[in-house]
Every structure is written in structure tokens, then in C-alpha cells.
Amino acid sequence: MNCKLCSALFQEFLENSLSEELIVEVQEHIRTCSKCRVSFRTYTVTVTLSRKVDPPCSVSPETLDRLRKVIRENFPKSHGAVV
């Protein structure tokens, strides 16, 4: 495996969508090539940082109550909605 192919496979590697053989080849290349090792690590951590910067949060109960109220008020009654 050469460096160009190796770095092109990072995405699939993280998706877990490579064949067994390719996984081994990528791992072996990364083990022996320091440039691709750094490249792989920085690529991977870039991805994980994006997830950690603003982790998903929950809508506050007050906001959710307001939303439910608005939806109840706007839900079409013509369909025979039961309250």
C-alpha cells in the first residue's frame, strides 16, 4: 500500500466498511509510515472533536410544553381530533 491510497481510505476505515485485508494493509502501513500515522491520527481526532464541541442537548421542559401547546392549537380539528 502506498501513502496516497492509505490516506484515501481513512474515511472508509472509520466507517468500518473496509474488507479485512484492507484493514490489515492500512494498519500495517500506518505502523511503518510515520507521515500516514500522524495523518491518520489528526484525521480521526478532527472527526471526534467535531462531535465533542457542542454535544447534543435536550430541549428544556418549558420549551417542550410551549411547543406541545402550539401544536395542539394548530392540529387540524376537521379530521375529528379527539381532545
Partner 1 sequence: MGKKRDKQTDADLVRDVKQGEPAAMEEIVKRYSNKVYNLAYHLTRDAHAAEEIMQDVFLTVIAKIGTLTTEAYFSTWLYRVTTNAAYGYLRKEKKFSEQTPVEDIDQEQYLEYDWTNLPDDVLLSEESKEVLRKSIDSLPEAMRTVVVLKDVEGLKNEEIAETLGISVPAVKSRLHRGRLILRKLLSEYFSKYTEPSREEE
Per-residue burial over 40-51, b if 16 or more Cβ lie within 10 Å, else e, is: beeeeeeeeeee
Binding test (CB under 8 A) with partner 1, winner from 22, 23, 27, 43: 43
Query: What whole-number distance in Å separates Cα of residue 83 and Cα of residue 81?
Result: 6
Binding test (CB under 8 A) with partner 1, winner from 24, 28, 31, 59: 59
What would the grid cell of residue 69 be? 401547546
Binding site for partner 1 (CB under 8 A): 3-4, 7-8, 11, 15, 35-39, 41-47, 49-54, 56-59, 63-64, 66-68, 70-72, 74-76, 78-83
